[in-house]
Amino acid sequence: MTETRVQLPPARYEYGGDEFVFVELDREMSLEANFKAMAITGALRREEIDGIIDICPSNASYLVRLDPDRLNPADLVRELQRLERTAGDLPDDYAVQTRIVDVPVLFDDPWTRETLLRFRDNHQDPAVTDLEYAARINGHPTVESLIEAIASAPFIVTMLGFVPGLPFCYQMVPRERQIEVPKYVRPRTDTPERAFGYGGAFAVVYPVRGAGGYQLFGIAPAPVFDLSQQLPDFADHIAFPKPSDILRYRPIDRDEYDLTRSEVESGTFRYRTRDVEFTPAAFLADPDGVNRELLEVLYR
């Protein structure tokens, strides 16, 4: 199946005081906008321009922090506009070196179910669970059909945010097949650590317990955030996901959940990962074919 490419508008540049430049590539989220943001910010990092303090890519935009005593913000904007025309116009051979990761998820688990039932007055439809609501509004006849759709294609990490280590993940399917759900009418004051949630077109794993407004679908046995850095996958960083990572959310049963939790608690758990070269142009031309290849690499 070939996806119709989204035509992006000219980027919008704004100053945030003297120290920030914000660039909006599109008001709507699309894979094209995110690929463009990754390409521009990647090229900007490689240039190692004196005066740039931090580069923060987002879903369809990015933010650059600078030292105005070393770099004139207007000069930076001109450089970003140049990159929009060059690095942002992705050639067919542009590739991203990234990882594909197996992320097990126990759907309709007892912990998130107990939580969502405590907050039905905050929800669009208090009479059903979040999974049942999401299945209905996305045209799936059953919850099982919705879970199968989530598991059928991987997700790309478009950014980290909200709290440290939370990965915003956009499913790598044509827009007409995107699963979309609204946030709660009013946010919850409680969400279990490692809850698997969905809001808008984004899937997330909550790194820590706290407030939240995404629909609750399940729970992951393995963390995405480890402040103590006890697990091997967190030796170099407290957050495991990285922008451009490709995650496959794999449904598991309670036995596998308990086994994985025991590995986490004993400090032996490792995510199943494979290094891959991802070519956006090839994906946009044949998303289902590229997804099949990615999953074959992950599970062979």
Read off the CATH number of the domain in which 188 is found.
2.40.100.10
Residues 102 and 47 in one domain: no
Split into its structural domains, the chain has a count of 2
Mean pLDDT of 262-266: 98
List the domain range (segments joined by +) for residue 17. Answer: 12-85
> Each residue of 182-219: pLDDT tens digit?
999 999 999 999 999 999 999 999 999 999 999 999 99
What are the two backbone dihedrals, phi and then psi, of residue 47, each rounded to the nearest 5 degrees? -75, -20
Q: Check residue 29 and give its pLDDT.
A: 83
Residues 67 and 193 in one domain: no
91 occurs within a structural domain: no
Instruction: Please say if the pLDDT value at position 103 is more than 80.
Output: yes
Mean pLDDT of 136-160: 97
User: What pairs with residue 246 in β-bridges?
Assistant: 100, 156
Residues 108 and 198 in one domain: yes
Q: Check residue 3 and give its pLDDT.
A: 46
Both tokens of 150, joined, read 């989530």
Residues 113 and 41 in one domain: no
229 occurs within a structural domain: yes
147 occurs within a structural domain: yes
Predicted confidence band at 5 (pLDDT cuts at 50, 70, 90)?
low
Instruction: Please say if the pLDDT value at position 293 is more than 80.
Output: yes
Residues 55 and 178 in one domain: no
What is the greatest pairwise CA distance in the chain?
A: 60
Residues 152 and 60 in one domain: no
Mean model confidence pLDDT for the chain = 94
Burial of 139 (0-12, 13-18, 19+ CB in 10 A): exposed
User: What pairs with residue 293 in β-bridges?
Assistant: none
Predicted confidence band at 89 (pLDDT cuts at 50, 70, 90)?
confident
User: Which amino acid, 215?
Assistant: Q
- The pTM score is 0.89
Both tokens of 95, joined, read 């590739």
Q: Check residue 1 and give its pLDDT.
A: 40
Residues 280 and 250 in one domain: yes
Q: Check residue 18 and give its pLDDT.
A: 92
Read off the CATH number of the domain in which 26 is found.
3.30.1360.40
Instruction: Please say if the pLDDT value at position 2 is more than 50.
Output: no
Residues 272 and 236 in one domain: yes
Instruction: Please say if the pLDDT value at position 6 is more than 90.
Output: no
**Distance (Å, rounded) from C-alpha 80 to C-alpha 88?**
10
Distances (CA, A) of 261 to 90, 210, 265: 41, 20, 6
- Asked if 219 and 183 touch (Cβ cutoff 8 Å), the reply is no
Instruction: Please say if the pLDDT value at position 154 is more than 50.
Output: yes
Residues 75 and 102 in one domain: no
User: Which amino acid, 20?
Assistant: F
Pick the closest to residue 107 from 220, 190, 223, 183 (CA basis).
220
**Distance (Å, rounded) from C-alpha 273 to C-alpha 85?**
34
212 occurs within a structural domain: yes
Predicted confidence band at 246 (pLDDT cuts at 50, 70, 90)?
very high
- Asked if 49 and 66 touch (Cβ cutoff 8 Å), the reply is no
92 occurs within a structural domain: no
> Each residue of 128-143: pLDDT tens digit?
999 999 999 999 999 9
